[in-house]
Amino acid sequence: MPKAPEAEPDWELVRKRNFVERLKHEKGGLAVIDDLPAMIATGYEAVPEEDMVRLQWYGLYHDKPKLGYFMMRVKIPGGVLTPRALRTLGDLAQRYGRGHGELTTRQNVQLHWLEMARLPEVLATLAAAGLTTAGACGDNVRNVTGCPVAGLDRDELFDCRALLREAAEFFLEHREYSDLPRKHKITISACAHQCNAPEMHCIALLGTLRDGQPGFAVKVGGGLSTWPRLADDLGVFVPAAEAVAVLRAILDVWRLDRRYRLSRARARLKFMVDDLGAARFRQRVEERLGRPLADGAAPAPPAEELDHGGIHPQRQPGLAYAGFPVYLGLMNGEQMQRLADLAAEISADGRRGEEVEIRLTRRQNFILANLPAERVPEVVERVAAIGFPLAAGAGSLRRLAIACTGNPFCNFTVAETKGRLRQIVEHLERAFGAEGAAALGELRLNLDGCPHACAHHWIGDIGLQGTTLRERGPGGERLQGYDLFLGGGLARGAAIGRPVLRRVPGDVVHLAIERLCRAWLDGREPGERIQQFFTRHRDEQLIESAGVPAEVLAR
Amino acid sequence: MIHEPISPAGLGAASPLARPGAASPPTAGTPGAGAPRAPHVPAAARRDLLDELEAGQLANDLDYATPQELLAWALARWGRRLAICTSFQAEGMALFDMAWRLDPAVRLFTVDTGRLPSETYEMMEQVRGRYGVEIEVHLPDARKLARMTTRFGPNLFRRSVEARLLCCSVRKVEPVRGALDGLDAWVTGLRRDQWASRANIRKLEIDHDHGGLAKINPLADWTAEEVRDYNRAHDVPEHPLYARGYTSIGCAPCTRPTAAGEDARAGRWWWETNAPKECGIHCPLETGGLEHELEAMLHGSEDGEGSAGSEGREG
């Protein structure tokens, strides 16, 4: 196997080998915004594909088919939306986006159907509401995520919202950090439950206390996609006041090493951390900083993952937050408008001076924060009327099941995603009934339409990745199937799921999942979670349990 | 929607992992529970297909490989289960030449759509003579072709984007599919700089558009100049249409030369308006792009929420 080149390549070689580096060198991604009026005048069809790539720097992607409509990803740092911001998103979805809207696994909101000619007014409207798409896609620091109940939760170590905002603003449209080797994902929280998935981010700052002083442990080098890797503990303690400087130093070590710019396939921080190891990577960061970092250790992972669903009293007396399931992560423009208006109305009525906020979670749900405790029952009822019942379906299935954007919008997907997830969830609800669905507990179904893993199929209890069968339909059409990954998860049992079943046909995948759940319920040790059950059994045993006949898998 | 679902009775009985005395909640939606247990899939009966974890690791390790190193590795692994796909353009020819030098028995296949320029047939002869090999030729399905031409005429592609996509599908997409059905790996001439939004391709990928076989892209990080230089240095046959200003070569009626500086789209389906961007240009078949556009345009769903049937009949 050929080895990595010893010598660092010069820019000339980088640009020869890597087309996007050439493209960025010719004109940076951020510069595309100045060309937008000219591009609109030229018309979509004549815009060179290079500029289409640059538009990613403003959160824009081709929708499918590529006929002139765009997906727009709006960054929501920490997932915190004011009623006005959500109202704006709802208005834009209604006016320019055929009403479609979706919540993502990184606390973004995505709209579709936007036409290039309308982009200037869309971007201006977003800016007026304090929202931005800059750096939402492309080789940037993507949306900085955090715990959706930061500053509210009683178990939180300390409130790091200010730092999260500071970091998000520092890297926003920053010339040096908008030409990274590829996308870069940062998460910051002091959530006692580490709900923000520090294991799978490029950089995670994990809140911790030292002698009562707030600071952070740092994990680096996590990521999923086609090369899943759990992050390493850098073994340091960073006082809160130095956190942005340390983030910068890590990003500098990363972006200035040209080795990883040779190929987009290896241009993620996880490859560098894997090559160097945490200790040598830390050394490089310290060299960049010009001083050593204090030793420390990341806080122990919590026993289980948590999405902060349900009703909870806040740290602030008299206030509560309520986490609502958003089935399939779909929230249409009208729902955004109505939810925003409800939040604004409760805020106006608030006697405690806290605005009601809509906070987005990484499992594509939302939390209403700063609710006067006595109004919670009324709010729950009114939110249900908007389409988000607090107790949706049976058990936690609808709250925890996630799927990526997929059809009909995404150009990468090869199989149905949200539609298929709906079919699976509703089948399980029927098959197990209310009691059985409750027995399934916090079952996490993560379904992706392609290997990019936007819905994190590697770390679901049951992860699914869309694929196609070798067999064709009678008209020669592609038939959908799913690879099943079992035993993945975060928190104490953090692990990358094993690909156990391949090419399970789309029309029986719900049955295979039902049988795997049943195998667990029938065969579990006392208190054993489904992930542990999958870990305890060999692939062959699980394949047999899933009960998909060999001739079906062979299709 | 779901048509003709496989009977749940095809799924096995109680889990072999059940603990004695344990019982899951009663079954409401699986009438077939209780049927005979499904046969086990013996691992040895499977073909040499990669799983995602393995493919991810390999793609990372192989990213530094030269085209020849990658071809040698792939030939050692798959041998006759691997074939090179060519339409006799520069990339495919370079790859075949490299592979042939490593293993003269390497398989080479192409699709004869029935509308190729005569120069492409000359190329086939030239390659057969120069290397002394057989080129596996895959043809469109005769009945489908007859039905299509009878109904829509031979030049249906000039009528609408949809008609042209149908023609591409019958004449090109489906025969390639047929060729791939018998393989565990194929080699393509995709390069990262052919199309900006495809710059992230890996040198080894699982081809989810063609049933999950491995797709090897040895020229991923080469430039067009490097390909040209290789071909000149090794006296590789060059398609004569390049000398006449063609930049990409496909079916005769749908391809024409482009002037220097002219958009690549001017060379393919130049009469079309409102065609999907990228469609048909720069090997979209190899990227899955053409298949995706086909489905979105011909079978697309109107449903913004992604109905379960939007990619045609379910498997």
Non-local (6+) Cβ contacts of A247 within 8 A are A167, A171, A186, A203, A205
Q: Which of A45, A429, A486 to mutate to test the interface with B (most CBs of B within 10 A)?
A: A45
Do A406 and A536 belong together in one domain? yes
- pTM value is 0.91
**Is A98's CB within 8 Å of B192's CB?**
no
Do A263 and A407 belong together in one domain? no
**Residues of B involved in catalysis:** 279
Residue A96 lies in a domain: no
String of DSSP letters for A177-198: GGS-SS-B-EEEE--TT-TT-G
| CATH class, range B49-242 | alpha beta
Model confidence pLDDT, tens digit, residues A197-242? 999 999 999 999 999 999 999 999 999 999 999 999 999 999 999 9
- Minimal C-alpha gap between B43 and chain A (Å): 9
Residue A183 lies in a domain: yes
Q: What backbone phi and psi angles, to 5 degrees, belong to A4?
A: -60, 145
In whole angstroms, what is the distance from residue A414 CA to residue B292 CA? 8
CB B276 within 8 A of CB B284: no
Please give the distance of CA A533 from its chain centroid, rounded to a whole number: 26
In whole angstroms, what is the distance from residue A251 CA to residue A171 CA? 10
DSSP assignment, residue B28?
Answer: S
Residue A181 lies in a domain: yes
Non-local (6+) Cβ contacts of A65 within 8 A are B276, B279, B292, B293, B296, B297, B300
Contacts of B308 in chain A (CB under 8 A): 416, 419-420, 422-423, 506
**Is A407's CB within 8 Å of B30's CB?**
no
DSSP assignment, residue A508?
Answer: T
Which residue of chain B is at minimal alpha-carbon distance from A435?
B25
Do A281 and A412 belong together in one domain? no
In whole angstroms, what is the distance from residue A378 CA to residue A381 CA? 5
Contacts of A65 in chain B (CB under 8 A): 276, 279, 292-293, 296-297, 300
Which residue of chain A is at minimal alpha-carbon distance from B175?
A476
pLDDT of residue B305: 30
Q: A315-319, A354-358, A473-477, B9-13: which range is least confident on average?
A: B9-13
- Minimal C-alpha gap between B270 and chain A (Å): 12
pLDDT grade, residue A350 (50/70/90)?
A: low
pLDDT of residue A339: 98
Burial of A105 (0-12, 13-18, 19+ CB in 10 A): buried
Radius of gyration of chain B (CA): 23
Residue A371: Cβ within 10 Å count:
26
In whole angstroms, what is the distance from residue A357 CA to residue A84 CA? 10
**Is B30's CB within 8 Å of A431's CB?**
yes
Strands in A60-62's sheet, in edge-to-edge order, are A60-62, A69-74, A109-115, A102-103
A519 closest CB neighbour out of B17, B56, B315: B17
Model confidence pLDDT, tens digit, residues A15-58? 999 999 999 999 999 999 999 999 999 998 888 889 999 999 99
Residue A392 lies in a domain: no
Residue A325 lies in a domain: no
Contacts of A432 in chain B (CB under 8 A): 24-25, 28
Give the structural domain span for A255.
Answer: 161-295
B223 closest CB neighbour out of A16, A512, A548: A16
**Is A435's CB within 8 Å of B263's CB?**
no
In whole angstroms, what is the distance from residue B302 CA to residue A113 CA? 12
Residue A418 lies in a domain: yes
**Is A53's CB within 8 Å of B197's CB?**
yes
Model confidence pLDDT, tens digit, residues A46-57? 888 899 999 999
**Is B40's CB within 8 Å of A62's CB?**
no
Model confidence pLDDT, tens digit, residues A362-397? 999 999 999 999 999 999 999 999 999 998 766 789
Scan for tokens 């079916």, then name that residue: B251
String of DSSP letters for A208-221: EEETTEEEEEEEE-
- Sign of the CA dihedral B73, B79, B82, B83? positive
Residue A281 belongs to domain with CATH number: 3.30.413.10
pLDDT of residue A354: 86
**Is A521's CB within 8 Å of B221's CB?**
no
Do A287 and A402 belong together in one domain? no
Contacts of B53 in chain A (CB under 8 A): 228, 496, 498-499
Closest CA to A77 of A223, A249, A196: A196
**Is A503's CB within 8 Å of B62's CB?**
no
Model confidence pLDDT, tens digit, residues B168-217? 999 998 899 889 988 999 999 999 888 887 788 899 999 988 888 999 99
pLDDT of residue A436: 83
The average confidence (pLDDT) of chain A is 94
Do A407 and A539 belong together in one domain? yes
pLDDT of residue B26: 45
pLDDT of residue A554: 60
Pair of tokens at residue B305: 């929420």
Do A549 and A402 belong together in one domain? yes
Among A295, A318, A339, the domain-final residue is: A295
Q: What total number of domains does chain A contain?
A: 2
Q: Which of A8, A16, A60, A67 to mutate to test the interface with B (most CBs of B within 10 A)?
A: A67
- Sign of the CA dihedral B164, B170, B172, B177? positive
Residue A196 lies in a domain: yes
- Minimal C-alpha gap between A102 and chain B (Å): 10
Do A545 and A405 belong together in one domain? yes
pLDDT of residue A3: 63
Model confidence pLDDT, tens digit, residues A114-162? 999 999 999 999 999 999 999 999 999 999 999 999 999 999 999 999 9
Do A404 and A526 belong together in one domain? yes
**Is A550's CB within 8 Å of B38's CB?**
yes
Kindly list the distances between the CA atom of residue B266 and the CA atoms of B13, B155, B255, in Å, as whole numbers in the listed order. 59, 19, 9
Do A290 and A402 belong together in one domain? no
Residue A475 lies in a domain: yes
Residues of chain B with pLDDT under 70: 1-46, 264, 278-285, 298-315
